[in-house]
Structure 1
Amino acid sequence: MKRKYYKTGELSKIYKLGRDSIKYYEKLGLLNPKRDTNSYRMYTIKDICNLNLIRELRSLDFSMPRIKEYLQNRNIESTKNMLTEEIELIKKKVNELNAHKESLRKRLSSIDNCIEHTTFNRIELLYMNKRKALTVDSNVTFDENVDYLIQRLSEKFEDKFYLLGNSNFGAVFDSNSISNNIFNNYKYTFCLLEEDAPNYNFILDEGYYVTYTYKGDYKKSAKILDMLYKFLEINKYTILGDPIEIYKIDVYETSIEDEYVTQVQIPVKLLSDSSI
């Protein structure tokens, strides 16, 4: 014989829902339990049906008002409309997940390439194509480097990138601070994007950059910048802008500080066709 009623505890266990959630749905009018002689809530098969639909639609991020509207006016036509909406939302989620997967794949490749093909602890002159980025103003001194600033960037552009599997993060130093021997003051923090990215608000110019890539503590940047500036002076390179740090492997890929990989870049103009 089929059961006609279910108690709150049974629904809570079956659906792994807290009692407060079930009571919330009841308050919205989505569930309509009867009361037994002891005033216990007794839910009907109709309530079970509604709870199944609520769970499905919530998983697709339908709002509670939209779900309520559907449940209270359910017929063949409204169900067809709801199914069409579900299909469109699922398509959107699939596209988002595919984009996320591709981002993760590229980041994995980037990590492998960094580990296998990077020249460490050597000054290099590299030509960089124009690089698009998303950025936020910093203008702060922060001893723990860019981690806090990345959080600000993440909050501002949370729909634009994934933290794990993202392109490289970076920061732009403040040259005036460096001239006063302050090496942890940043003008901007940024996230590098793909070449064909349509939405960006910052560009790293195309051209030559004197670079140095190292592993370990970010605080090494102070000595490295000092070394690079001396190198530029000796070789009579014209500095075209503020130094940049690119965090090729950082705290979001490893908790082992010795595995961090950071590249310092200074844009320069060459007086002649020189090489290092």
Structure 2
Amino acid sequence: MKDVYTIGEIGKLFRIGADSLRYYERLGILSPRRGENGYRLYGPDDIWRLNIIRDLRELGMSVESIGSYIQNRSLSSTVQLLTDEIWMVREQQKHLSLLRQNLSERLKILLQAENLPAGRITEKHLEERRYWAIPESYCCDDEMNLLMQRLVRRGEDGRLIGNNRIGSFFELSGEKPAPEGGENKLEGRENELEGGEDVLEGGSGREVSPGGRARYTGAFLIRDDGPQTIPEGTYLSLVYRGDYFQSPIWAEKMAAHARKQGLTAVPPFLELLWADIHETAETEEFVTELQVLVRRPADFS
């Protein structure tokens, strides 16, 4: 049996790169001797050290802490080390269990998004929801994405993928300014949405001016520990697929539907993102839900 190994042989045996072996040597954890040709030669003393390094690295211990342990190891320090590592493993198991639940929930959300009926206005009762918000207006998708990222940093894992609890507030404007050419960019597109059909091409995203058809007033993240609340009540809900330019068009239809039913739509509208650029590069696969609180005449008496 060999008792001396070159850097290539020891690296292959322990599946450690040459750079890592040299780093351990600089820290004083390993002390290979030099052969006649100047090459590093690793002996039994280095092998047991590498065994310890491998085991403790698998447990997530830093190289510096491993070096300190090797230089000052004793039975009592080893007992304490293993006790600490058992606690760390238990904490990691808790974290992984929560992560699995989180990922399962996000997968469930995306599968639901694929089957949500589009273009249909429904009425539903929603409980009070707490939320965090960044009350900053924006007028394009890039600005919105930055707000969303700032919001998810408040969460446990900072994930955007499969998160249908994040979205925007917006209000409808009574003005419809005409761009150059004399025609409103959205004018005439309402007919394309009749019957629940989705518009998949030619959209301009959220590139709407403050005086345009919709005014985005902020981003929100629904979380139980949020300091603000979305009130309990009856909401109109509608899901659409495709580009975000449809939001104000559908919102106007929801407001008209409310009036027809003798209801009053109470702004702002909520734009909830079931599937967006974080889940798909295909705009036609975007899934967005609009919600707006509605009141009956008796609610105001």
Q: TM-score, normalised by structure 2?
A: 0.74
One-letter code aligned to 1:153: L
1:242 to 264, 268, 286: 268
Tell me the equivalent position of 1:121.
Answer: 119
The answer as to whether partners of 1:174 and 1:187 remain within 8 angstroms in 2 is no
Query: Which protein has greater RCO, CA pairs closer than 8 Å, 6+ apart?
Result: 2
Give per-residue Cα distances to partners, 1:139-182, cap 9 Å, x unaligned. Answer: 4333357444333334x236445444545332223668887216
2:219 to 174, 188, 196: 188
- The structural deviation recorded for 1:18 is 3.2
The answer as to whether partners of 2:233 and 2:293 remain within 8 angstroms in 1 is yes
SS in 1 for 2:91: helix
Aligned pair 1:59/2:58, yes or no?
A: yes
Give per-residue Cα distances to partners, 1:62-100, cap 9 Å, x unaligned. Answer: 233322221111122111111111111111111111111
Q: Measured at CA, do residues 158 and 234 of structure 1 come closer, stay the same or move farther in structure 2, by a change above 3 Å?
A: closer
Q: Measured at CA, do residues 178 and 204 of structure 1 come closer, stay the same or move farther in structure 2, by a change above 3 Å?
A: farther
Inter-partner Cα distance in structure 2 for 1:230 and 1:136: 29
The answer as to whether partners of 2:172 and 2:252 remain within 8 angstroms in 1 is no
Which runs of structure 2 are paired with 1:132-147 in the superposition (5 Å)? Answer: 132-136=130-134, 138-144=136-142, 146-147=144-145
Inter-partner Cα distance in structure 2 for 1:120 and 1:259: 12
Which runs of structure 2 are paired with 1:58-97 in the superposition (5 Å)? Answer: 58-97=57-96
Please list every run of 5 or more consecutive structure 2 residues that lacks an aligned counterpart in the other structure: 174-207
Tell me the equivalent position of 1:105.
Answer: 104
Aligned pair 1:173/2:173, yes or no?
A: no
SS in 1 for 2:297: coil
The answer as to whether partners of 2:236 and 2:293 remain within 8 angstroms in 1 is yes
Tell me the equivalent position of 1:24.
Answer: 23
SS in 2 for 1:248: strand
Tell me the equivalent position of 1:266.
Answer: 292
One-letter code aligned to 2:290: V
- The structural deviation recorded for 1:231 is 4.0
Kindly name which structure, 1 or 2, has the bigger radius of gyration based on alpha carbons.
2
Inter-partner Cα distance in structure 2 for 1:58 and 1:47: 16
Inter-partner Cα distance in structure 1 for 2:127 and 2:76: 55
Tell me the equivalent position of 2:9.
Answer: 10
Q: Which stretch has the larger CA shift, 225-234 or 28-37?
A: 225-234
Q: Which stretch has the larger CA shift, 89-98 or 261-270?
A: 261-270
Tell me the equivalent position of 1:208.
Answer: 234
Please list every run of 5 or more consecutive structure 1 residues that lacks an aligned counterpart in the other structure: none
One-letter code aligned to 2:288: T
One-letter code aligned to 2:102: S
One-letter code aligned to 1:151: Q
The answer as to whether partners of 1:8 and 1:19 remain within 8 angstroms in 2 is yes
Aligned residues: 265
Inter-partner Cα distance in structure 2 for 1:184 and 1:59: 52
2:150 to 149, 152, 157: 152
Tell me the equivalent position of 2:283.
Answer: 257
Tell me the equivalent position of 2:199.
Answer: none
Give per-residue Cα distances to partners, 1:217-236, cap 9 Å, x unaligned. Answer: 12211322333344445556
Inter-partner Cα distance in structure 1 for 2:217 and 2:47: 56
Inter-partner Cα distance in structure 2 for 1:9 and 1:184: 64
Q: Measured at CA, do residues 17 and 159 of structure 1 come closer, stay the same or move farther in structure 2, by a change above 3 Å?
A: farther
Q: TM-score, normalised by structure 1?
A: 0.80
- The structural deviation recorded for 1:272 is 3.9
One-letter code aligned to 2:212: N
One-letter code aligned to 1:11: I
Give per-residue Cα distances to partners, 1:169-209, cap 9 Å, x unaligned. Answer: 3222366888721647441242x34xxx5x44443322222
Give per-residue Cα distances to partners, 1:102-141, cap 9 Å, x unaligned. Answer: 122223333333444x332022222211223454555433
CA RMSD of aligned residues (A): 3.0
Percent of matched pairs sharing the same residue: 29
Q: Measured at CA, do residues 57 and 237 of structure 1 come closer, stay the same or move farther in structure 2, by a change above 3 Å?
A: farther
